[in-house]
């Protein structure tokens, strides 16, 4: 008889504890409370008092909560990971005060933001680090990570350290059941190969930033979708129409058309979407005027104009992300 693990109630890890998938409500699958480069907290040019951080962040989360009332829940997935300003006890207080569920990530945005301590670690060490943060908690906060971040270092090619992190993430995902999301969907072939070698179903992986301006021409998103991977349209709002757009910006209509192509071709179940905005950026000025609430203010009216119905919006922002975030241990 094969060993059958005892059934546990389906759940999603948030920083305040597990929730049932139905409680997640509306999910913004790739956002940031505050993202910065390692060490930026030591640069006095960018110091922010706690009051400032709360002042910048709380109104955005409250607005997010307000915008999601009709879905009966609000879930904000923080894609910041280790070394980039992740602060789980702060997230816990934000979640308590605003009623927004916050899912924290373990893992790294990319090998090139992992501090030397982790850079030198082998796959097994990284795997145990991720499992610890998912099953025991992050630091002493008791808050458990609900997803693993991995990514491609600068240069649009996977580096050796990136590959090590991807493999460790695959093993931790299999063991704990959390999903994985990636920073950048370029150079996906080695990633797909690692996940196949480790036996992780590709629908447990969200290939992020497939829609950003700098990845176009380099990202094989339809190929990834054919392999069963999920495609992240998760930089909605970084429009070149902004007064001071970032280098990864893209013409608004072009991104929208890219996204609508998936819906027209019946590939709605392959996509997830978000805004990748910072509530309060760390060590950089951020992109003025861009928040998670772009989804409600600009994206949804544009989708409705193009004939996208509420059921499709619910599929992308409620049903699919809840299933994705629900722990599915494979061992
Ligand atoms: Zn991000």
- Summarised one tens digit per residue, pLDDT across range 150-209 is 999 999 999 999 999 999 999 999 999 999 999 999 999 999 999 999 999 999 999 999
Question: How far does residue 171's CA lie from ligand 1's centre (Å)?
Answer: 23
**295 three-class SS:** helix
Q: Is it the case that residue 331 has pLDDT exceeding 70?
A: no
Q: Position of tokens 């890890």?
A: 13
Question: How far does residue 286's CA lie from ligand 1's centre (Å)?
Answer: 12
Question: How far does residue 124's CA lie from ligand 1's centre (Å)?
Answer: 26
pLDDT value of residue 307: 98
Confidence of residue 41 (pLDDT cuts 50, 70, 90): confident
Question: How far does residue 276's CA lie from ligand 1's centre (Å)?
Answer: 5
H helices of the chain, where?
50-67, 88-98, 116-119, 123-135, 160-176, 188-198, 221-226, 252-264, 294, 300-305, 310-314, 320-325
Question: How far does residue 77's CA lie from ligand 1's centre (Å)?
Answer: 10
pLDDT value of residue 306: 98
pLDDT value of residue 6: 57
- Summarised one tens digit per residue, pLDDT across range 232-243 is 999 999 999 999
Question: How far does residue 226's CA lie from ligand 1's centre (Å)?
Answer: 24
Question: How far does residue 182's CA lie from ligand 1's centre (Å)?
Answer: 9
pLDDT value of residue 97: 97
Question: How far does residue 32's CA lie from ligand 1's centre (Å)?
Answer: 6
Greatest Cα pair distance in the chain: 64
Question: How far does residue 289's CA lie from ligand 1's centre (Å)?
Answer: 16
Q: Is it the case that residue 2 has pLDDT exceeding 70?
A: no
Spatial separation of the C-alpha atoms in residues 178 and 174, rounded to whole Å: 8
Mean of per-residue pLDDT scores for the chain:
96
H helices of 199-328, where?
221-226, 252-264, 294, 300-305, 310-314, 320-325
Question: How far does residue 225's CA lie from ligand 1's centre (Å)?
Answer: 20
Q: Is it the case that residue 5 has pLDDT exceeding 60?
A: no
Report whether 272 contacts 233 (CB < 8 A). yes
Confidence of residue 70 (pLDDT cuts 50, 70, 90): very high
Question: How far does residue 7's CA lie from ligand 1's centre (Å)?
Answer: 33
Stretch 122-126: mean pLDDT, rounded? 98
CATH architecture of the region 12-325:
Alpha-Beta Barrel (3.20)
Question: How far does residue 34's CA lie from ligand 1's centre (Å)?
Answer: 10
Domain boundaries, the chain: 12-325
pLDDT value of residue 330: 84
pLDDT value of residue 216: 97
* Percent of the chain residues topping a pLDDT of 90: 95
Residues whose CB is under 5 A from ligand 1 (ion)?
79, 276
Confidence of residue 8 (pLDDT cuts 50, 70, 90): confident
Q: Is it the case that residue 53 has pLDDT exceeding 90?
A: yes
Question: How far does residue 33's CA lie from ligand 1's centre (Å)?
Answer: 10
Question: How far does residue 110's CA lie from ligand 1's centre (Å)?
Answer: 11
Question: How far does residue 31's CA lie from ligand 1's centre (Å)?
Answer: 6
Category of 150 on φ-ψ map: left (φ > 0), alpha (ψ -120 to 50) or beta: beta
Question: How far does residue 30's CA lie from ligand 1's centre (Å)?
Answer: 6
pTM over 0.85: yes
Question: How far does residue 79's CA lie from ligand 1's centre (Å)?
Answer: 5
Category of 173 on φ-ψ map: left (φ > 0), alpha (ψ -120 to 50) or beta: alpha
pLDDT value of residue 191: 98
Stretch 31-50: mean pLDDT, rounded? 93
Question: How far does residue 80's CA lie from ligand 1's centre (Å)?
Answer: 7
Q: Is it the case that residue 75 has pLDDT exceeding 90?
A: yes
Stretch 219-223: mean pLDDT, rounded? 98
């Amino acid at each position: 008889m094969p060993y059958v693990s005892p059934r546990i109630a389906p759940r999603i890890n948030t920083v305040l504890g597990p929730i049932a998938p139905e409680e997640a409500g509306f999910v913004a699958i790739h956002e940031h409370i505050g993202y910065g480069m390692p060490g930026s907290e030591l640069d006095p040019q960018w110091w922010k008092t706690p009051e400032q951080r709360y002042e910048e962040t709380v109104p955005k989360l409250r607005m997010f909560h307000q915008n999601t009332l009709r879905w009966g829940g609000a879930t904000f997935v923080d894609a910041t990971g280790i070394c980039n300003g992740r602060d789980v006890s702060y997230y816990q207080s934000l979640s308590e005060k605003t009623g927004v569920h916050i899912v924290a990530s373990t893992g790294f945005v990319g090998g090139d933001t992992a501090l030397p301590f982790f850079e030198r670690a082998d796959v097994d060490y990284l795997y145990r680090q991720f499992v610890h943060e998912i099953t025991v908690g992050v630091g002493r906060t008791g808050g458990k990570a609900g997803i693993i971040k991995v990514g491609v270092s600068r240069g649009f090619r996977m580096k050796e350290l990136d590959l090590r992190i991807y493999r460790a993430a695959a093993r931790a995902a299999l063991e704990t059941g959390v999903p994985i999301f990636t920073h950048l969907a370029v150079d996906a072939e080695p990633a797909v190969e690692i996940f196949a070698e480790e036996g992780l179903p590709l629908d447990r992986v969200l290939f992020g930033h497939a829609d950003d301006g700098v990845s176009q021409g380099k990202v094989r998103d339809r190929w990834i979708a054919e392999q069963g991977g999920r495609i992240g349209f998760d930089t909605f709002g970084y429009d070149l129409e902004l007064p001071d757009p970032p280098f990864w910006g893209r013409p608004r209509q072009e991104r929208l058309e890219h996204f609508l192509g998936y819906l027209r071709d019946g590939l709605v179940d392959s996509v997830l979407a978000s805004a990748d905005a910072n509530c309060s950026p760390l060590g950089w000025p951020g992109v003025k005027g861009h928040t998670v609430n772009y989804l409600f203010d600009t994206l949804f009216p544009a989708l409705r104009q193009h004939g996208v119905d509420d059921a499709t919006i619910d599929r992308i922002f409620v049903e699919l992300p809840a299933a994705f975030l629900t722990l599915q241990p494979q061992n």
